[in-house]
Structure formats: C-alpha cells, structure tokens
C-alpha cells in the first residue's frame, strides 16, 4: 500500500513538472489550425473557451504517456516480435497480457479524453483521434480475451497513437511513452 502511494505521488510530481514546462497559453500555440496537417474531428461535446479543470494539461501528459507506454510494451512490441502468431512460444501469455494491457490503456484513454475536454487547444485537436484510438484498443482487448489479436488493429492503433502524439505536440502538450514495468493487478 505504501509503495502504491509513493509511486502515485512520484507520478503526480512528474505530471506537475511536465505541465509547468513550456507555454500554458492556448493563444501562443495558435488558434487557427485550419492549415494544419492534423485535422480536428468534432466531438459530441463542444470544446471550452477556457480551461475548466486545474492541471488538465499535466494530467493529460501523464495519462497519455502511461497509455502509450503500456500499449508499446505489452501490445505493439509483442506484435512486432511475432508473439501473437500461431505456434509462437509464449503466445497464450502474450495474448493474456495484451488483454489486460488493453483494458489499462482504454482506462487511461478515458482519462486522457476527460483531460483534453478541459483544455481548449487539446480538445480541438485530439478528441477525434482519442475516440478512434480508444475504440481500436478496446477491440484489441476484446479479441485478446477471446484468444486472438488482429494484426491490422494493432497497426491501426499504432497509427492512431502516432497521430495523437503529433496532435498533442501541436496543442502544446507533447508526451512521451512512460515505462509501465508491470500490469495492474486485481488487488
């Protein structure tokens, strides 16, 4: 219990430090993104004109980094190694880990979306990509629970993750994949 509190405290401090770097003004990042290579997709809820949640950008960076790290380590890297192929050594374990990681990534992406909806620049540029990535990761997790992983969905999710990274950087909230050394347990 103490270890979990210490880890969450460290993550919070890192999030605060990451959120304090760079400009926090949405106006400094430009409000007209019409010529941008990354197109914004309209969301079900409108984007706010001003920030509606404290530390939204810092929380966004932390949650997006954790989602990217878990996806990369537990889903994309085993896929690239061929661990999901029929007859691959350790295939059942790899697929099981991918299922659990998919659930974790989807939960982090829900938080990423909530954080993005609280920050105008992130909301305009990332909500559509977050929705597509979340649905793709959920599909991967569901298929992994059934005992298989679709290569096309893994590559599609990796492409959406790359687009999310680019859109986030354009909105002033660049993130990097955070190390997720173990999967959450059911404790």
Model confidence at 130: pLDDT above 60: yes
**8-65, pLDDT tens digit by residue?**
444 443 443 344 333 333 333 333 333 333 444 444 557 877 777 778 899 999 999 9
Provide the domain count of the chain. Answer: 1
pLDDT, position 47:
82
Domain membership flag for residue 1: no
Domain membership flag for residue 91: yes
Closest CA to 130 of 160, 151, 166, 156: 160
Tokens 């999901």 belong to: 84
Domain membership flag for residue 126: yes
pLDDT, position 32:
39
For 131, the domain range is 56-187
Which own/partner pairs from 114-117 qualify as long-range (CB within 8 Å, at least 24 positions apart)? Answer: 114/53, 115/53, 115/56, 115/57, 115/59, 115/60, 115/63, 116/56, 116/60, 117/43, 117/45, 117/47, 117/48, 117/52
Domain membership flag for residue 22: no
Instruction: Tell me, yes or no, if the pTM score tops 0.95.
Output: no
Closest CA to 113 of 150, 67, 82: 67
Domain membership flag for residue 44: no
**74-104, pLDDT tens digit by residue?**
999 999 999 999 999 999 999 999 999 999 9
Domain membership flag for residue 42: no
CB 67 within 8 A of CB 109: yes
Domain membership flag for residue 125: yes
Domain membership flag for residue 88: yes
């Amino acid at each position: 219990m103490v270890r979990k509190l210490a880890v969450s405290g460290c993550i919070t401090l890192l999030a605060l430090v990451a959120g304090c770097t760079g400009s926090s003004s949405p106006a400094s990042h430009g409000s007209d993104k019409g010529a941008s290579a990354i197109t914004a997709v309209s969301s079900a809820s409108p984007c706010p004109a001003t920030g509606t949640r404290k530390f939204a950008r810092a929380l966004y960076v932390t949650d997006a980094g954790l989602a990217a790290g878990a996806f990369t380590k537990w889903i994309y890297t085993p896929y690239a190694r061929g661990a999901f192929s029929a007859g691959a050594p350790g295939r059942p374990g790899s697929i099981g880990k991918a299922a659990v990681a998919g659930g974790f990534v989807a939960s982090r992406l829900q938080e990423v979306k909530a954080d993005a909806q609280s920050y105008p620049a992130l909301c305009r540029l990332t909500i559509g990509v977050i929705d597509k990535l979340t649905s793709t990761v959920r599909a991967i997790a569901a298929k992994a629970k059934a005992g298989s992983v679709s290569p096309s969905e893994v590559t599609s999710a990796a492409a959406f993750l790359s687009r999310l990274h680019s859109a986030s950087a354009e909105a002033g909230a660049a993130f990097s994949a955070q190390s997720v050394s173990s999967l959450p347990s059911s404790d």
